[in-house]
Amino acid sequence: MNTTHTLLDWIRRLQRITLDAGAPPVCRTVAEEIRQRFAPGARIGRGGGAPQTGRHAATLRIAVDPATGGRLRFGVDRDGAGVLAAPDAHHLYAWFCYLVDCRGGEPLAAVSRGRSARPAFRWQRPIFDFYFTQSGRTVRGLDRETYVRQMARFGFTHLEVNGLATPEPIEPGVPGEVYPRFYTYCPALDQFVSSFLNRGFYPADYLAANLRRLEHDARLAVRYGLVPVLLCFEPRSVPDALLAKYPELRGARVDHPFRSFRPRYNLAVSHPVVRRHYREMIQTLLRAVPELGCLAIWSNDSGAGFEFTRTLYVGANGSAYLVREWSEEDVFARAAAGNAVGFLRLLQESAAEINPDFRVTTRLEPFGPERAHVLRGVGVGLDVEVPTLLATGWDSPYRHPRYADSDIGALTIFNNRFLPAERAPMRALARRECRTHVMHAHGPVNNFEPLLGIPAPWLTHEKLAALHAVGADYLAHLGGIAPPGAVRWNVNEEVFRRFQFAPERGADETVEAIARAWAAPPLARTLVGAWRLVDRAIRGFMPNPLYFQWGPWYRLWVRPLVPDIERIPERERAYYERHLLSTHHNPNRVDLSRDVLFHLMTPALARKTAARIERNALPPLDRAIARLEAAAPPAGTEGAALLRDQLDRLRALRCWFVTRQSVAVWIGEVHGYLRSRSAPARATARARLRAMAAREITNAERLLALWRESPTVFMAVSAGQETTFLYDRNFGRHLERKIRLMRQYGNARPRIDSDIIWRVANLRAPAARRAPR
């Protein structure tokens, strides 16, 4: 072995690449990529056993070898023959990419000396892969194989494959309701296959198209060594016609009574006929795609739910078969938990008849009083999926890293901790062969939507390090990754990938290594400095949970933030209300502090939020932008492209921050005006609203210029029609309308119709007033 050669030097000299007999497809994928990228003259053939030496020098054996003891291997002997091996297929491609991308320029002897490494986490599974399978799947410019390859390269071990082939689901609605929109994601089993019970209730060509897409994506997963998995809302509602034919099988009502205008019911999963139905569907799916390795079940939302659980939107309800009416609360909790666990066990055992390693996971948050009973029933193939085991329901011990009074969700970039106290309950479950899949979010979902590629490398590293320190082995990463064609330089995902193979390296060392890999030293130092400032800005940002996590739903970037929203004629508001997640009687249409019956923010908290953004978020972000603007790499170079990319993403983030600040000002001052009887206080509120409107108009103009002029894909845009979840090519026109309407109505006297909730769309009489108490 020539000690002066780098790893890439050695790879370029390869003459022969050998694969073991029966090697999984990912071994050939790696071999062909080596030949294509580095060694075009290398021959790929069948081998086996120890690395070849002597006359077969410059040979690499690629293998999946469970005998490695869970370790990843790379080594080259004195004759120049090497071995690249992983204990399982789902780590091999990422291990190869890490070596050539991150250590390829190092001396071969240094890379080969370590010979083996243990991945930081056994599973890194995407969950709710937004742009590949879920509600963002119509995003512009997504190449499916490139996406899968990038997932494998970054170190994901699984791939979610059950996305709908059509832009919209088949879920009949009634005029005015928004509920069918929730069926576009986490499609249930009956969107791919049918059984003796429901055959013919969905069009055969619709099911066939969805199944073809699932099969195609599963093949891509296997090609790169990933395990194809499913994420379904179950037990989900079924067509009314099915229950009209079989009324005895009706289960729970599972819709949201405010967002839907007709009730939706699922099937009674305790009924033998329904159990046979689900058994047939899961086995039909496994026979079509036997590589499927896991089914994640989400429930009690989006048209799905377990009978008699307390967190159903309409309250605990269900079929006639589960529990006698008027029983004690714990009787209901035990029955509901036993029914849920029985359903999960049915799916797992039925699938395991085809794939013995098949597992089923379920989220714990929907279970309140049922949670302890559910936990006693899991194990031996039934796993749990949760951001914390230290709280019940949607509560969490994890707060904003700077603001203890910020009730931000556990599944955001702000959750950078995982307490040592999590270790004991994880181990207790592990003793029953129940894996804890710890959920977290450092990617494009629940964080600054619809922006892409926002750098937060230290927050990302801190969370991964906390998970690793406590011994979490199975991670569920919310949201997948950003479309690779849109985000070429994704520092969060680079941190994610490097941590998997070098968890001992600190955040500073990791981030600096990434910057040096992307740019020459002067620009690399500038990038690191800018990223530090962005990290400080994000920690200084005060989020509102719903608006932070699901911003596009509420159309905040394009709706005019005026003191009296209904002063704008309804036809003028249609451009954004069409896709707003609000029915005609939802208070959010006229009051930014409300959504259905939620009070999102008090006026006092809103004023505090606006002040904190002004004081702690915008100044460091402005310094980061100024630092990048001052850098001047030669035009037309990679450095110039990288700089423009990062700069435009930070400019977009600033626009995003300012609009959230404007929303907080709106809540604080509109409600402050309406609650005050003091003329000076009201005058102050109106002056602050005028200043907010002027600032938001300027902000929208800056965003519009960025939209028109930037070569950077800084936000997700639909390739087709606009949806509740994605803006489309008309985003610029929407901003122009917002600017015009804010100029026209921005000085209106504050007003909110507090009786909007009582409106009845088809009743011509005046709107009903508030019901007497």
**pTM for the structure as a whole:** 0.95
Cβ distance 251 to 268 under 8 Å?
yes
Average pLDDT over residues 537-546: 92
Q: Per-residue confidence at 547, pLDDT binned at 50, 70, 90?
A: confident
- Angle (CA) 690-693-699 rounded to 5° is 145
- Distance, CA of 423 to CA of 434 (rounded, Å): 14
| pLDDT at residue 57, as a whole number | 62
- Distance, CA of 95 to CA of 73 (rounded, Å): 9
Neighbours of 410 (CB within 10 A): 22
- Distance, CA of 299 to CA of 322 (rounded, Å): 18
| pLDDT at residue 53, as a whole number | 47
On the 0-12 / 13-18 / 19+ scale of CB atoms within 10 A, 719 is middle
For the chain, report the end-to-end CA distance as a whole number of angstroms: 87
Q: Which residue has the tokens 């709710």?
A: 128
Average pLDDT over residues 400-419: 92
Confidence check: pLDDT of 684 > 70: yes
Could you report the per-residue pLDDT of 161-208, keeping only the tens digit for each?
A: 999 999 999 999 999 999 999 999 999 999 999 999 999 999 999 999
DSSP reduced 3-state for 382: strand
Cβ distance 609 to 657 under 8 Å?
no
Tell me the HSE value of 623 on the side-chain side, using a 13 A CA sphere. 14
- Distance, CA of 625 to CA of 514 (rounded, Å): 20
Could you report the per-residue pLDDT of 299-318, keeping only the tens digit for each?
A: 999 999 999 999 999 999 99
Percent of the chain with pLDDT over 70: 97
Q: Which residues contact 768 (CB under 8 A, 6 or more apart)?
A: 755, 758, 759, 760
Q: Which two tokens stand for residue 20?
A: 């073991």
Amino acid making up residue 174 = V
DSSP reduced 3-state for 436: strand
DSSP conformation letters of 512-580:
HHHHHHHS-HHHHHHHHHHHHHHHHHHHH----HHHHHSHHHHTTTTS---S-GGGS-HHHHHHHHTTS
| Measured torsion, CA atoms of residues 552, 554, 560, 562, in degrees rounded to the nearest 10 | -150
| pLDDT at residue 771, as a whole number | 46
DSSP conformation letters of 244-274:
HH-GGGEEEE-S-TTT-SS--EEE-TTSHHH
Average pLDDT over residues 429-440: 97
Cβ distance 261 to 174 under 8 Å?
yes
DSSP reduced 3-state for 757: helix
Average pLDDT over residues 343-350: 98
Cβ distance 8 to 105 under 8 Å?
yes
| pLDDT at residue 773, as a whole number | 40
| pLDDT at residue 549, as a whole number | 80
Could you report the per-residue pLDDT of 66-78, keeping only the tens digit for each?
A: 988 899 999 999 8
Cβ distance 422 to 456 under 8 Å?
no
The β-bridge relationship of strands 250-253 and 359-363 is: unpaired
| pLDDT at residue 120, as a whole number | 97
Q: Which residues contact 739 (CB under 8 A, 6 or more apart)?
A: 697, 700, 701, 704
Q: Which residues contact 600 (CB under 8 A, 6 or more apart)?
A: 544, 545, 546, 547, 592, 593, 594, 667
Confidence check: pLDDT of 4 > 70: no
| Measured torsion, CA atoms of residues 310, 313, 316, 318, in degrees rounded to the nearest 10 | -130
DSSP conformation letters of 186-212:
S--GGGT---TTTTTSS-HHHHHHHHH
Q: Burial letters for 664-675: b for 16+ Cβ neighbours within 10 Å, e otherwise?
A: bbbbbbbbbbee
DSSP conformation letters of 42-109:
-EEEEE-SSPP-GGG-SEEEEEE-GGGTT-EEEEE-TTS-EEEEESSHHHHHHHHHHHHHHSTTSBHH
Average pLDDT over residues 58-73: 93
On the 0-12 / 13-18 / 19+ scale of CB atoms within 10 A, 571 is exposed
- Distance, CA of 759 to CA of 189 (rounded, Å): 37
| pLDDT at residue 770, as a whole number | 52
Average pLDDT over residues 416-442: 97
Mean pLDDT of the chain: 95
Confidence check: pLDDT of 507 > 80: yes
Q: Which residues contact 409 (CB under 8 A, 6 or more apart)?
A: 394, 396, 415, 446, 545, 549
Q: Which two tokens stand for residue 484?
A: 């690779």
Could you report the per-residue pLDDT of 386-396, keeping only the tens digit for each?
A: 999 999 999 99
Beta partners for 16? 43, 59
Cβ distance 299 to 305 under 8 Å?
yes
In this structure, what are the phi and psi dihedrals at residue 114, rounded to the nearest 5 degrees?
-65, -35
- Distance, CA of 52 to CA of 55 (rounded, Å): 8
Q: Which residues contact 297 (CB under 8 A, 6 or more apart)?
A: 232, 233, 234, 344, 347, 360, 361, 362, 363
Confidence check: pLDDT of 733 > 50: yes
Average pLDDT over residues 650-666: 98
Looking at 244-253, 631-640, 703-712, which range is the least confident one?
A: 631-640
Cβ distance 19 to 47 under 8 Å?
yes
Helix (H) or strand (E) holding 179: none
Neighbours of 405 (CB within 10 A): 9
On the 0-12 / 13-18 / 19+ scale of CB atoms within 10 A, 397 is middle
- Angle (CA) 760-764-765 rounded to 5° is 90
**685-688: long-range pairs with CB below 8 Å, 24+:** 685/750, 686/563, 686/747, 686/749, 686/750
| pLDDT at residue 51, as a whole number | 45
Confidence check: pLDDT of 219 > 70: yes
Beta partners for 265? 253
Tell me the HSE value of 234 on the side-chain side, using a 13 A CA sphere. 27
| pLDDT at residue 2, as a whole number | 59
| pLDDT at residue 56, as a whole number | 47
- Distance, CA of 155 to CA of 151 (rounded, Å): 7
Could you report the per-residue pLDDT of 443-475, keeping only the tens digit for each?
A: 999 999 999 999 999 999 999 999 999 999 999
| pLDDT at residue 766, as a whole number | 56
Q: Which residues contact 502 (CB under 8 A, 6 or more apart)?
A: 117, 510
**Beta strands of 349-480 (E only): which ranges?**
359-363, 382-386, 436-440, 474-478
DSSP reduced 3-state for 125: strand
Q: Which residues contact 340 (CB under 8 A, 6 or more apart)?
A: 299, 306, 309, 362, 367, 370, 374
- Distance, CA of 468 to CA of 506 (rounded, Å): 13
- CA dihedral over 469, 473, 477, 482, signed as positive or negative: positive
